[in-house]
Chains A and B, each alone.
Chain A
Amino acid sequence: MAIDILMPALSPTMEQGKLAKWLKKEGDKVKPGDVLAEIETDKATMEVEAVDEGVLAKILVGDGTDNVAVNTPIAVLAGEGEDLASAVASAKMPDLVAPPAAAPAPVSAPAPATVPAAPAAPAAVYDAGLEVPAGTEMVNMTVREALRDAMAEEMRRDGDVFVMGEEVAEYQGAYKVTQGLLQEFGARRVIDTPITEHGFAGVGVGAAFTGLRPIVEFMTFNFAMQAIDQIINSAAKTLYMSGGQLGAPIVFRGPNGAAARVAAQHSQDYAAWYSAIPGLKVVVPYSAADAKGLLKSAIRDPNPVIFLENEILYGHSFPVPVMDDFTLPIGKARVHRQGKDVTIVSFGIGMTYAIKAAEALEKEGIDVEIIDLRTIRPMDTDTVVASVMKTGRCVTVEEGYPQSGVGAEIAARIMEKAFDYLDAPVIRVTGKDVPMPYAANLEKLALPNVDEVVQAVKAVTYR
């Protein structure tokens, strides 16, 4: 019986890849374990091995084809002695190639320079619409590239900035965020560490005490739990304990939160944890422009900054301003979308749910304002409060746990500062109160989703 050979998936987040080259040709005999072809993604190259014995009857997707969707048939294997022609005829032809990745929804056009005055809004609310001068050229780039560029620019600017972490140099980064840095800056400044998080976090903090500006990459923030004593007891508290003599200008960065199907020990969102600590700043960007501008500021900041990225967002593209030195202030939220009926406050990957929910709600006549916090500590309470004073309703969205989460903090601040303006209690949409399960269906249930956000908005607007 003829067997379709399908395009394999290489990683939890891979949807398509390039069929780089066939190593066997039509008519070749193959046995299990033989390498048939090589495929590539932006992260990795891999060999497709034969699973079954037979003859490679037909190649359906040729050398060098880009954007081949996972599970597309790429060849037909005929059983031994099987008639090749009929094998090929019986195999289903592929719908060919995946369309190029859908262009991401453009970030809403820069807000007008003057925000229409909300009735009772404090006058001095920060206006992120002014961050990029009108008429600035924008280029599309991925969050991954934006982060890399931010580090490269700061390393060019300041010889005291260096990067260290597991696989950051020769391997080019486990998630390819440090791609090319070793080539440009050399092994003195782009440093592969052993797997010793507690140790190298401490080494980074020590170096920062002397005034160097380390960027410490954690392969993921799950592994920073090994190092959390150095981050909190050494990095965050020393300035205070030394009466201001000595601090740690250091950035701890890396992917945070759930990726896909990597289960409980690799899927935790630490935004709320670090945001509880005085002496730290905590940044969680969503867009590529914010990732770039905020990482540059974090590297220059004289304090320890926890910079929480997200593996799924790494591949998302956004317009980024072409500017010589684009930095953004830490501690300022951005109004991502203006609206009058309800405020959704979110950050990082939570924004993806918020944005889709707002689009769905617009069709039902509910006008949503979305605030992207960008920094969790210090939190831009003014922007949130001004918005809630206007809308009277608020929903928070995050992937982290509900108890003592960022949403809980926002709700408390709104209650303290804008209680009289609320027309409904604040509702939190969060990850569920469970360790992340591995099974696909349970994982879906454990994460927030767009519908939960829609329902929460309807609840606070009594619709």
Chain B
Amino acid sequence: MLLRYITRRMLIGVIQLFCLVIAVFFLIRLLPADPVSRLVGLNSSPEGYEQAARQLGLDRPLFEQLWIYLGLSPDIAPGLLQGSLGVSWASGSTVGSEIATFLPVTLQLITLAFILAFIISIPVGMLGALNPGKAADKGVFVYSLFAGSQPEFWWGLLFVYVFYFQLGVAPAPLGQLSPMTFPPEPVTGFMLIDTLIAGEPAKFFEALHHLMMPVITLAFILSGPIIKMVRQNMLRALQSDFVLYANLIGLPRKRVARYALRAAMGPSMTLIGILYGFMLSGAVLVESVFSLGGIGQYAIRSVLAFDYPAIQGVVLVITAISLVVYLLLDLIHAAIDPRIAY
């Protein structure tokens, strides 16, 4: 049952991705941009221009380009079917390998930030819902208003100013490790894991230390909407018949709160999924402030360079990850709430 559901969702996901690939492929080519002149410079000779266009494959008819990208003409170049995202026009290395270096940085950052945001938001949101209108609730309201009132790079800069310049408890915002440290062999791409694989706990803690500020910044931003959502879902749950009944039969206050929390978590999953998918590319400002080199930065670089294969690759990978996250959260929702049938 479960397996069939997952398979079905995966199949639908593949179809969605396929449609997305086609759409993105044509949409970026509709842009009034000339990637070739971008590459060779505006005042190159016509021959040079043509040669560059040939190299990029842009001299071929549009559908032939699509065929190659999809991997239907493997004799010319490998494509999606062969598991290749193509070659970046800007750097000349494969898009796949570039994404593999940038993506883990972002995944590591936002996953940790979500976990931290959750740890903060659940008790705070619960507190607000259990004492609606009281001081604690008002404090929560002010906090979420405050956190959402400024853009994240501003908070990032402020935190850097306070914790690095003034207090000196945070490292300089110069990447995942200090510039003097020799990074470990990239195995998974996740710095925290790679340092452990390399057996270098000192570097592990250094990486953790460097992650601290960006994670806190993101969690600070994220906790605003998450608190609001937890509070609201919790309030609704507290008004439900079964919570009233739980009170009527004298269940302890703690147990009643847990009933309500569980009822509040299910509907929260959807928003979490959307937020996570958004953060995959939306964390770019924080990545920039702390010079982490994440997928958001890579995406922007690719767009500015009209690097079509890179843009397509990033969109495809981010969407695929979002779809997997949605699926996972739906599975969690179903595990929390037995009324949800596959």
Q: A and B: real partners? A: no
